[in-house]
Amino acid sequence: MGKIILASASPRRRDLLAQIGFEFEVVTSDTDESFDDSMLVEEIVKKLAFEKAKAVANQVSVDSIVIGADTVVYYEGVILGKPQNEAQAKEMLAMLSGNTHQVLTGFAVIRLSDNKVVIDYEKTNVTFRSLSEDEIDIYIKTKEPFDKAGSYGIQGLGATFVSGINGDYNNVVGLPLCSLSQCLKNEFNINNI
């Protein structure tokens, strides 16, 4: 089967992949995450996931299977990345307050032995309840928003903002476990259960 390599520094992705029973190593790279603004968001997450996987594939042995992923928060035609400062975090959270946004995660799997590549994505709709300015300010002071796309973590205190979810919860955390495990099983004959 070969070694599974997770091409991500995200502790959340590492925990999710471990949660479903896969043994793997983590290898990261400094991948350029810029993209063409004219691309569809679905194409952006797939492209970035592939670029991350490809960069790591160039560093590892030929018997490896590399998994790359990229997650974005998307609302009204705008990709909300990780906030650079408190003002940006506040702006994003105010935008999401009382509204439904999408979280998209692209994933790419590369098997080096035969250069097989499968790239796909998952989309989840997340609805926030209305947030007060005080709630947003208090949340920002916890520092939780600063390494999260869209300025919140659904697996942390940000869960208290989510009034509804339609789709894969794990996708919002950073790795669509259902889609990914089906891809590994059906396309690469790798079973976790």
Provide the annotated active-site residues.
70
Pairing of strands 78-80, 25-26: unpaired
Handedness of CA 6, 29, 46, 111 (dihedral sign): negative
Pairing of strands 3-6, 25-26: parallel
Tokens 């043994």: give the residue.
Answer: 23
Cα(50)–Cα(29) distance, rounded to whole angstroms? 12
**β-pair partners for 4:** 65
DSSP 8-state secondary structure symbol assigned to residue 34: -
